[in-house]
Amino acid sequence: MTALADVSCPTEVSGAPDLAAVADAPALLLVVGADTLVPLVDGRSVPYANLDVAASAPALRSVADRVTEVLPLYASVHRGAGYLSQVSTALYEASRRTIGAFVGAREDDVTVVTRNTTDSLNLLAGCVPANADGTPGRVLVLDVEHHANLLPWQRAGGATVLAGGASVAETLSGLRTELARFPYALVAVTGASNVTGESLPVADVVRIAHDAGARVVLDGAQLVPHRGFSLAASDVDYVAFSGHKTYAPFGAGALVGRRDWLDAGTPYLAGGGAVRQVAVTGTQWQTAPARHEAGSPNVVGAAALAAACDALAALDPADLHVHEATLRAALVAGLEAVPGVRVVRVWEDAVDPVGVVTFSVDGHDPGLVAAYLSAEHGIGVRDGRFCAHPLLARLGYDAGAIRASVGVGTTGADVVRLVEAVRSYVEQGPATRYEVVDGCWAVADDPRPVPVGSGLEGLFATAAAGFLADAAGCGPAV
């Protein structure tokens, strides 16, 4: 298997295709749930238009099939003499190799199987070498980052958070200047913004950081599922990403990169599997990856993620790129043609964003628009501040915004539905009544049923009681 980004993907989508031109665009890969019907407040049911794949993407059909295939083989990993334990251990280690290869791991890189990107970056934060005087190693991070790529460094103590500039050029210049002021150990940068899909040119970031003696970790949560990426080709030192955003929602993610820090760093979890020898007087820890994988490994999650990596790697990178770039361009053009709709940008000169688009509707609460899209059109988007509070504050979106995102399972019809629904909202307003309950916009007296036999009866009542306000994080607080 080759890493996707070994093949560079310069295919540009020229011009902005109009909506009619993409209306018939099919999904690139089959995903589970593509034909799931969801109820509307008017009593009809429609296929769910999942335009929230940047939050969590549906499972690829091939991933679900692989999970079904490996479940009968499931047994303890690294712990059993039984036949199925041996098989499961081999499956887990083979999955690790596939996951590492997918992101172009170098020969001596380590692939740690984690729960998700947040887990991976917290793990790495415990491995950044301290300064000679024992103070935490310096980490430079921009204010554009998702909280997962901000808070671990802040908590570790060595973080400097630099405001990004209005342009890529200005932002790179700011990085260069700051890196000349102090000896930084690490630059932590997004591979693609979870707010706008935009990114800094990785090659430039790597050159600037390495010239200053700092390593680079890429938050690949939004990049890896949408574009090929290769550690070897890019010279990035570490990449973190999530299975549930890579069409493998079975609880695994990964941190892949240079061995030395991971071998010497604080074991992420203390417990069985991470140790060589334990005595009441002290513990001898394993080297990576075992050092950071205490507890029973998630073999099904790892196998699912490996299957997703295989499916994405089997795609022609140009097809992957064109599919997403075409849908994104049509989405942006369609939204910008609706009066009062504004599409958010971080950098005026950013090129080739991934399929994540954030927008606002002048004078309208994003939570209301999102609730309307769900209740009256069966469309799933995200609203709020997208776990990127500093960025949303700097851009003037303290009240949040609305985010739509596309992936391999998205069709042109999904995009058309969203644009037409937003236009209808602006021109005619909602047809039903909404109210704010515990900070969340909800349909007043929501008549929508929950799936029969799902065991979720009372879900909407629970939401109204405020449970989901915290758990699901609606509203601008998140």
Q: Name the token pair of 472.
A: 């699901």
Q: Which residue in 62, 242, 358, 411 binds ligand PLP (CB under 6 A)?
A: 242
Q: Name the token pair of 454.
A: 């799902």
The CB-of-150 to ligand PLP minimum distance in angstroms stands at 9
The label of the residue with tokens 């058309």 reads 416
Alpha helix ranges (H) inside 117-161: 117-125, 151-156
Only segment of 238-246, 334-342, 359-367, 425-433 that touches ligand PLP (CB under 6 A): 238-246
215 binds ligand PLP (CB under 6 A): no
Only segment of 14-22, 144-152, 161-169, 365-373 that touches ligand PLP (CB under 6 A): 144-152
Q: Name the token pair of 402.
A: 């609305």
Query: What distance lies between CA 11 and its chain's CA centroid?
Result: 23
405 binds ligand PLP (CB under 6 A): no
The crossing angle, in degrees rounded to 10, of helices 412-428 and 317-336 is: 10
The CB-of-251 to ligand PLP minimum distance in angstroms stands at 10
**Neighbour count for residue 394 (Cβ, 10 Å):** 15
Please report, as a single letter, which amino acid is at residue 176: R
- Are 278 and 30 spatial neighbours (Cβ–Cβ below 8 Å)? no
- Toward ligand PLP, which CB reaches closer, 25 or 388? 388
Helix (H, G, I), strand (E, B) or coil at 128: coil
Specify whether the backbone of 40 is left (phi greater than 0), alpha (psi in -120 to 50) or beta.
beta
The CB-of-203 to ligand PLP minimum distance in angstroms stands at 19
Only segment of 173-181, 242-250, 333-341, 447-455 that touches ligand PLP (CB under 6 A): 242-250
Residue 387 falls in the annotated catalytic set: yes
**Active-site position among 127, 387, 440, 474:** 387
113 bridge partner residues: 254
- Toward ligand PLP, which CB reaches closer, 41 or 189? 189
- Toward ligand PLP, which CB reaches closer, 194 or 234? 194
Q: Which residue in 66, 96, 138, 146 binds ligand PLP (CB under 6 A)?
A: 146
- Toward ligand PLP, which CB reaches closer, 222 or 230? 222
> Of 105, 93, 133, 94, which is closest to residue 262 (Cα–Cα)?
105
The CB-of-431 to ligand PLP minimum distance in angstroms stands at 31
Q: Which residue in 62, 149, 230, 298 binds ligand PLP (CB under 6 A)?
A: 149
Quick one: DSSP state of residue 349?
Answer: T
- Toward ligand PLP, which CB reaches closer, 22 or 216? 216
Helix (H, G, I), strand (E, B) or coil at 429: coil
- Toward ligand PLP, which CB reaches closer, 19 or 401? 401
Q: Which of residues 188-207 bind ligand PLP (CB under 6 A)?
A: 190, 194
The CB-of-257 to ligand PLP minimum distance in angstroms stands at 16
Could you give the CA distance from residue 385 to residue 439 in angstroms, rounded to a whole number? 14
The CB-of-298 to ligand PLP minimum distance in angstroms stands at 14
Q: Which of residues 243-282 bind ligand PLP (CB under 6 A)?
A: 244-245
222 binds ligand PLP (CB under 6 A): yes
The label of the residue with tokens 């980490």 reads 139
Beta strand residue intervals within 45-158, DSSP E: 45-47, 49-50, 110-114, 139-142
List of residues 6+ apart from 49 with CB closer than 8 A: 377, 378, 379, 380, 413, 414, 417, 418
The CB-of-195 to ligand PLP minimum distance in angstroms stands at 9
- Toward ligand PLP, which CB reaches closer, 219 or 446? 219
Q: Which H helix or E strand runs over 443?
A: strand 440-443
The label of the residue with tokens 């002048």 reads 362
The crossing angle, in degrees rounded to 10, of helices 61-70 and 299-314 is: 140
Q: Which residue is nearest to ligand PLP (CB)?
A: 194
The CB-of-337 to ligand PLP minimum distance in angstroms stands at 27
221 binds ligand PLP (CB under 6 A): yes
Q: Which of residues 60-119 bind ligand PLP (CB under 6 A)?
A: 116-118
Query: In angstroms, how far is the first alpha carbon of the chain from the final one?
Result: 38
Q: How many residues form the binding site for ligand PLP (CB under 6 A)? A: 15
List residues with catalytic annotation.
387
Q: Which spans of this chain sit near ligand PLP (rule: CB under 6 A)?
A: 55, 116-118, 146, 148-149, 190, 194, 219, 221-222, 242, 244-245
